[in-house]
Each structure stands twice: as structure tokens, then as C-alpha cells.
Structure 1
Amino acid sequence: MNSLEANTRKTKSKGDVRSLRLSGNVPAIVYGGNEQNEKVSVSKKILKSLLDKEGFLSSIITLNVDGKGQNVLPREITYNVISDEPTHIDFLRVVPGVKIRIEVPVQFINHETSPGLKRGGVLNIVRRKIELKCPSEKIPEIITIDLDGIEIGESFKISSVKLEEGVSPTIQGRDFVIATLAAPTVMKEPEKPAEAEATEGEEAPADGKEATPVAEGDKKEGEEKKASEEKK
């Protein structure tokens, strides 16, 4: 489990928040449960390193506020539209037994052992994330799809994913598709044998006999002889 240090903030104006950001920190809110909302700040540098990790938004982290730890789930993050830097983040307190909705990323493994991909098949990913409803203490970090042995034409549906007890997709009533392994859009032509390439374009004699090449000098002499006979 990842951990993140946080400090209580007492910002009261936009100017205070701006100064906080200029000092290399990101304002945040901790909410949920029976406790009151907490205004805190976290290091932008450390937060960005955590955001680079896959599945951060679906992972429970330990937030240490002034040395006191509590389990939280990162929720909404606001970014600067120009610099794409994080400017605010919300943390939801993890309360055992309470169900929450969360999007969990899908990961595909064993591409190299899929016969369909080896034959040029294309993996069409319909959903890169799946929204689940689950207890806060049973949040899966990632949903793994195994491509081992998968042939062209096969598909992956939510029914093929093994979820823990109490965890279910928010989409109910249909077995939706996560991905399919489709046939290639362009088929590769087989390579021609070397002998076929060498003889391609040559015309065979009408009688089936092998043609005898005519030297340039002999060709010219024959034309002059034919012209002389026509004059006679």
C-alpha cells in the first residue's frame, strides 16, 4: 500500500491557495465517514510520482495527516488546463463495509502466447476501465485479461472475469464485451518463388519451343536484305 504525507492547511482566500501552490504543494480535501471534512495539502512532486503509477485512482493509500495515518481512496483530481499540473485532489475515507463505485483499469497479459495475435489478429479493446460497485476494503487494483491460447474470433465478456464476493459491475442485465480478437484488416500475400519472379513478364513462343535470341547486328542485316528484295 502506498503512503502519502499531508499537512493541515488553513487557507482562507484564493491568495492563500495560490501561495500554497507556488510553494510546491497541492491543496486537498479529505471527506467521508462520520468525521468532518479536512483541508490538507500534499507535495506536488510526490503526488505526480504516484499519479504516474497505473491504478492509482483505484488503490487505497495511507494518508498521514500531521503524523496521523488513515486509509483513503483518491477521487477527483483537478488539473491546470495549460500546464496539465495537478491543482487539487479529493480523498475519500475508507470506511469498512461501505460500498463505493469505482473505475478499475483493465490489463491484458501474455500477448506473445496468443496464436491469434501471432497470425496477425488485432486486439480491439472496447473498455479500458470497468466501473465496479464494491466494499471499500475489497477494491481490486486491476482487472487482468489473459490472452494465452486465444484465437482470432474470440471475445472477452464481463462474465469471464472472476470478481470477489460482494464485487459487481455497475452495468447489470447484459454480458457486455471488454475486448475482441479480430481478424487482420489486410491479408499478407504469399511471397513468390525466386524462379517465378525471374520468368515473370516473358512471353513463350507460339509453338512452345524455346525462343532463340537475335543479335542486334543480325537483325539489322535481315531488315536491309528484305528491303532490297522488295525493290526488285
Structure 2
Amino acid sequence: MSNKTYELKAEARAQVGKGSARELRRNGFIPAVIYGDKQDPISIVLSRNEVTKKIHAGGFLTTLATIEVDGKKHSVLPKDFQLDPVRDFLMHVDFLRVSKDTQVTVEVPVHFENEEKSPGIKRGGVLNIVRHTVECHCPANAIPDAITVDLTGLEIGDGIHISHVKLPDGVHPTITDRDFTIATVAAPAGLKSEDNAAGDADDADEDASEE
């Protein structure tokens, strides 16, 4: 679990509507909302530059933040953000208000280690990543930085399923009806071609013997 967090200062947003939002964006700000935890939602105004930096730093949707609004601090988790489809700048952010008992659903990135200890990869096998993230249900204050997959001992043709991964306490994948694949060690293209050629040769020999 990550201990990193950050703080943002915001102002309550008195006016809502498209016209007000456009004016905010022209002046370097963005509209946002804080909701959840059985409290009324709060419309706020944030610095677009500050929030954009946090997004580009990575882990934005899995890192808790504290937003101070008119002197009151709110513990939140970013749940969604919208980008302008043409110019790609930040338009709006949704923040979920969290407490120590809040459970959240997040996409946790998958990291792979010990590629050099995989005999299959050493022989030229290719790590075929099926899932770069895994959707998990976990406490808001215990979101893992990443799910780590150990590739030690894997041969060509081996697969890594979610059952092979040790998840932190309280963290559970949202997919529970199957042991889904995270990655496989695939044969390199050259080896596949050789195998296909060998198979074709065997077929030809069988055809000749039948004649």
C-alpha cells in the first residue's frame, strides 16, 4: 500500500452551469465535485495546472488526497476526470469522499519482476501481457500501488492466473467467477515458424507413406 498522499486547496463554487464552467477554464481553473460518504455533494473550483501535474505524475485514481475547502479538509479519492476530446486539456474531476470504513473499486496496475529468472523468456519467449491492470475491491486507505507478478521459473507456454498472485489483505479482484489470465509466456515467432514447418514436414511424410 502506498503512504503517499497530497493536498489541494479549493474554493466552493457558487455558480454552476456551462457558462460559468467555460469562464473558469478560460482563467486556468476547473470545476470539480466532492460527493459520497452520505453527505451532500460540494461543487468546487481547482487550479487546472495543479491537478494536471498530479495526473501526469501517475497513480492519480489510486492515491488518496486531502482537499481543503474554505478551511475544512476533506479526505477524497479521485474517481474520474474528463479531458477535452480535441485539445486534451483537463475539464472536470469527480472526487469520492472517503472515511476509514470506505470500500472502493479501483484499477490496480500490474508489475512484472524477475524476467531474467524465467527460462522461457531466456530462450526467447515473449511475455504476453493480457491485463495491464486488475480491477479490485479494497479499503480506500489500503489501495495497493501495484500487483506484483513473479516470473521466476516460467517456461514457454506457461500462464499466470490471478490465483498465482498473492494480494494484500482486504484486496479482492472484482472478477470472482473464473481464474482469469494476467499474462502468458508465448513462443517467439521464429520458434513458431519452425514448429509449423516441422508439422508440415511430418504431414508430408504421412501423406507420402499413405501413397
Q: Does 1:28 align with 2:43?
A: no
Q: Say yes or no: does 1:69 pair with 2:105.
A: no
User: TM-score scaled by structure 2?
Assistant: 0.81
CA distance in 2, matches of 1:7, 1:109: 43
| CA apart distance, 1:139 | 1.7
- 1:94 Cα deviation (Å)? 1.0
More strand by share: 2
Which residue of 2 is the match for residue 193 of structure 1?
none
Q: 1:52-201 alignment to 2 at 5 Å?
A: 52-187=56-191
Q: Does 1:47 align with 2:70?
A: no
Determine the structure 2 residue equivalent to 1:229. none
- Aligned partner letter, 1:62: T
Q: Residues of 2 paired with 1:32 and 1:84: CA distance?
A: 28
For 2:131, what is the secondary structure of its paired residue?
coil
Structure-2 separation of matches of 1:41 and 1:141: 28
Task: Tell me if the contact between 1:58 and 1:141 (Cα under 8 Å) persists in the aligned partners.
Answer: yes
Q: Once the two structures are superposed, what CA deviation does each residue of 1:17-67 show, in whole Å capped at 9, x if it has no partner?
A: 111011111110000013210111221112111111332211212222234
Q: How many residues align?
A: 189
Residues 55 and 142, structure 1, Cα contact 8 Å, conserved in 2: no
Rg (Cα) greater in structure: 1
Partner of 1:198: none
Q: Distance in 2 between matches of 1:161 and 1:87?
A: 37
The offset of 1:78, in angstroms, is 1.0
Contact 1:9-1:40 within 8 A present in 2 as well: yes
Q: Is the contact made by 1:56 and 1:74 (CA closer than 8 Å) also made in structure 2?
A: yes
CA RMSD of aligned residues (A): 2.1
What's the secondary structure of 2:189's corresponding residue?
coil
1:146 is displaced (CA, Å) by 2.6
**Which stretch of the first structure deviates more once superposed, 128-137 or 144-153?**
144-153
Q: Distance in 2 between matches of 1:115 and 1:67?
A: 58
Separation (CA, whole Å) in 2 of partners of 1:46 and 1:87: 13
Q: How far apart are residue 112 of structure 1 and its match?
A: 4.2
Deviates more, 1:146-155 or 1:70-79: 146-155
Q: Equivalents in 1 of 2:151, 2:60: separation in Å?
A: 24
Equivalent residue number for residue 197 of structure 2: none
Tell which has more relative contact order, 1 or 2 (C-alpha 8 A, sep 6+).
Answer: 2
